[in-house]
Amino acid sequence: MSCDARFSEEAAALGYSFDGEIKIGGNYTPLIRDGNHIHVSGQIPRVGNEVVVTGAAGDDTDLARARLGAQICVMRALALLQRSLGSLERVKAIPSISVFVQSARHFTQQSEVADGASELLYKILGPAGAHTRTSVGAFQLPKNATVELSLQATVE
């Protein structure tokens, strides 16, 4: 099965479509190619016009919902890569991802939240989905999002 077929399968399993416009929240560009690297802007769990996972993990929202937020963020990033490249088969590596989790004071499971995104990278991209990661507890995020995720990809 191709990366693109696995992407569609995981989108269906999540119950969200990433076919529409991938809206961004300000005066910047969603992704930039620089040689064989692509930088993807910070993604929040927005589907269409709605940020579907909001609030602080461990307070307004729980670990399961926060993981869903991380999954939506990484699917958005992959959707942007897919559109730009024509196919996710062209992604050769994900050198790094950064995951910011809006956190309650005593919520320390930022890594467990980020695993939601990491697992999808492995499932969809296979060995090319291996990545380094930095997970941080943020005090707030744009539009009260629970998670924000940025990544860098290497392409052929």
Minimum separation from the CB atom of position 70 to a second copy (A): 11
**Interacting residues with a second copy between 106 and 145 (CB under 8 A):** 106-112, 114-115, 118-119, 122, 130-144
39: CB partners within 8 A, 6+ apart:
31, 32, 150, 152
Question: At its nearest, how many Å lie between a second copy and the CB of residue 105?
Answer: 7
Stated length of the chain: 156
Query: Cα separation of 121 and 88, whole Å?
Result: 11
Stated as kind and residue range, the H or E segment containing 6 is helix 3-14
Please tell me the count of residues contacting a second copy according to CB under 8 A: 54
Q: CB–CB of 122/37 below 8 Å?
A: no
Within 44-103, the residues that bind a second copy by CB under 8 A are 93, 95-98, 100, 102-103
Residue labelled with tokens 């569609």: 8
Scanning 1-9, 11-19, 67-75, 104-112 for contacts with a second copy by CB under 8 A, the matching segment is 104-112
Contact residues toward a second copy (CB under 8 A) are 25-32, 34, 37, 39-42, 93, 95-98, 100, 102-112, 114-115, 118-119, 122, 130-144, 148, 150, 154
